[in-house]
Amino acid sequence: FNDDIQGTGAVNLAAVLAAVQATGIKLTQHRIVIFGAGTAGVGIADQLSAAMKAEGLTDDQARARFWAVDRAGLLTADDSQLSRQQLRYARAPAEVAGWPRDPALGGVALAEVVRQVRPTILIGTSGRPGAFTEEIVRQMAGHADRPVIMPMSNPTELAEARPGDLIGWTGGRALVATGSPFGPVDHRGRRYAIGQANNALIFPGLGLGVIAARAERVTDGMLSAAAHAVASLVDAAAPGAPLLPPVESLRETSLTVATEVARAAAADGVAEARLDGDIREHISQLMWRPVYRPVRPA
């Protein structure tokens, strides 16, 4: 288990699953642009595409729902510099042959990709502050009723956009999650809570579930269960609701995640422990509680 890749992917999947609930659009019908095609961006794409395959798409059909953009523009399969992981999400050169190129990049820039693709989900892992410009966001909001925009880069000063701008530029329609902590946004008399896609929502519960189940390994099903567990803790369809639970409720989140991870381990046949009875209560008893008996001075 690599937290930077799989943990980041799982917490982003959780946010997207919550957004799916809010938009009413099936995950398999979303068009996803990822800006920043390094290990984090590719890890997110891997988790999202795995979830799409679990909902019935083939591998090719799932990968076709993604457009990955890096420092040189849209990834295309004729680029010899791409890694094997990046090539999975590279587009066929013939598909984008007529798309205008940015002379400074030599490839198709993010703004043009958004114009051509008309994405419903935009995720940033680029470390490029301000990359999600007003022009790009308004372009996206012009075709998506509830655009899902997730600037994941951290720390705060590297975020691709600030939630207040995203909410304002879309008239309060954007569904926003961030990689850095941001306070709530007030817009036109409504307060919007901003969920932080912190990997801590995933890995403590994942580890606890592995221990409780005595799992031989971490399976894709266990990662998916962790993401679905986190998404189940929010009602993103409620006005102003966040896409992710607050970090302040981490103990409750971790217990829910651990319970579902342990169940998934059993379902996948990798659990050595017998998980009978009330699994949640059993796991709750395994959790450390920082409570100490009072000490009186001698």
Structure tokens at 169: 């530029």
In a domain, 239, yes or no: no
Q: Is 255 inside any structural domain?
A: no
In a domain, 105, yes or no: yes
pTM over 0.85: yes
- The reported pLDDT for the residue numbered 4 is 65
Count CB atoms within 10 A of the CB of residue 177.
27
- 109, 70 Cβ separation under 8 angstroms: no
**pLDDT at residue 156, as a whole number:** 94
Give me 90's structure tokens. Answer: 């590279």
State the Cα–Cα distance between residues 255 and 201, nearest whole angstrom. 10
Asked whether residue 160 is domain-assigned, the answer is yes
- Judge whether 56 lies within some domain: yes
**Does 35 fall in a domain?**
yes
Q: For residue 82, what is the domain's CATH number?
A: 3.40.50.720
Domain residues for 56? Answer: 3-197
Give the pLDDT score at 169: 98
Query: Could you state, in chain order, the average pLDDT of each consecutive group of 10 residues for the chain (298 residues)?
Result: 80 97 95 96 96 96 98 95 96 96 95 98 97 98 97 95 98 96 96 96 95 94 96 92 94 97 96 87 88 80
The reported pLDDT for the residue numbered 292 is 80
Report how many domains make up the chain. 1
Candidates 30, 26, 20, 41; CA nearest to 88 is 41
Report yes or no on 29 lying in a domain: yes
Residue 241 in any domain: the answer is no
